[in-house]
Amino acid sequence: MVKKLSNTNYLHDISADPVVTNERNRKYIDRFVSENYNGLVAKFSPLDGTINSSAFGALDKLNSTIISLYIDPNLHFTDWEQAKQYLSNKFTEKAIRVPVKKPVKSEVVENEDEIIND
C-alpha cells in the first residue's frame, strides 16, 4: 500500500491551474532574465533571510515577480528598449526607483494605428 504524502501546512489540496503566457512579451522577458538573472540573484540573496508577511523570502519574491511578468495580460512592450527600461526599473530598489509608466495594451494598439496611418 502506498501512502499519499501530505503537507500538514495546508488545510486542503491546492490545484495547479495552468495560466496563459503573454506571448507578445515572452521574447523580451526571456532576454532580460537570461542577461540579468545572476545579477538579480546576487542583489536579492543578502535579503533572503527576511520573510515578508506573505511568507516569501527575497528570492521567492524575485521569482514570483518574474512569473507575474510572463502572465500579465495587460503588459505590452513595443520594442526591446521599452522592455529593458521597464524591467530594469521593476527590479530597482523602491527608494531609488524612477517611475516608469507600465506599457499597456490599449496604448500600444493606439500607437500602432498612428504608425500605420502616418
Per-residue model confidence as pLDDT tens digits over 81-104: 999 999 999 888 776 666 778 888
pLDDT score of 27: 95
Q: How far is CA 71 from CA 48, 87, 93, 112, in A?
A: 24, 14, 23, 22
Give 93's contacts (C-beta < 8 A, 6+ positions apart).
none
**Residue scoring higher pLDDT (73 or 13):** 73
At residue 110, does pLDDT exceed 60?
no
Q: What is the pLDDT of residues 37-80, one digit of tens each?
A: 999 998 888 776 766 666 677 888 888 899 999 999 999 999 99
What is the pTM assigned to this prediction? Answer: 0.65
HEC-encoded secondary structure of 1-12: CCCCCCCCCCCC
